[in-house]
Amino acid sequence: MVQTKLAERLIKGSNIWNLAVIDNINFKASTIATGNIFDIGRKTSCAILRIVFQFILSTVFDNITNITNNELTNQPIFGESTTTNNLLIQYETIFNTIIEKNKNEFKIKDIYLEITKKILSGFNISVNIVILEPGSPSNCDENVYILCEMYCKDLFICENDFLYIACDQAIFRKLISYKEKHPDIQLILEQ
């Protein structure tokens, strides 16, 4: 059998956003005695899943992350955004054009077709998903730290590059002290 290096499937580039995921997977082996389908699990084992979601962005990732505080301060937290306002203007223009051309002789389908011609819909970012070699069980902090180091090695993370890690609450707690020593680690708590 040919051994492949899973990390070779990772995409490299300045327009790639890597989201690393660390998760515990627990396996339970159970037996069903005759007449009793509610036997409890007798054997359990744990594995650590290491997976990377790579989003291929239309611009260099540094351009997105270098937004200044001033730019963020001027954006409203709630309410309409410039994107929403532009969409509303496009919808109004499409609607008015159809009314002018067809007077009152049009159907909802006509509006829908015009909107789909002029406005892109959907989520248009490509995603590369790579499951990497698992690490040791996360029963101690040191094993979780080693997982982070494995990600840095696999993704060629340099000292000033950010590593975004999504994890469950138990692993998140273990990584808080790691983040204090490695400020370029960005933790995302799974729900």
Q: Give me the residue spans of the domains in the chain.
A: 13-27+45-58+125-189, 81-123
What pLDDT digit, counting tens, does each position of 138-172 carry? 788 998 999 999 999 998 887 778 899 999 898 99
- In CATH, what number does 13-27+45-58+125-189 get? 3.30.420
- pLDDT greater at residue 70 or residue 165: 165
- What is the per-residue DSSP string for 69-111? HHHHHTS-SSS--HHHHHHHHHHHHHHHHHHHHHTT---HHHH
Do 49 and 134 meet the contact criterion of CB atoms below 8 Å apart? yes
For residue 164, what pLDDT is reported? 92
- With H, G, I as helix, E, B as strand and everything else as coil, classify residue 44: strand
CA–CA dist 8, 52 (Å, integer): 12
User: If you average pLDDT over residues 116-135, what whole number do you get?
Assistant: 79
Q: What is the dihedral of CA 75, 81, 67, 175, to 10 degrees?
A: 90
Considering only CA atoms, which of 112, 86, 85, 119 is closest in space to residue 98?
Answer: 112
Q: Which pTM was predicted?
A: 0.62
For residue 123, what pLDDT is reported? 62
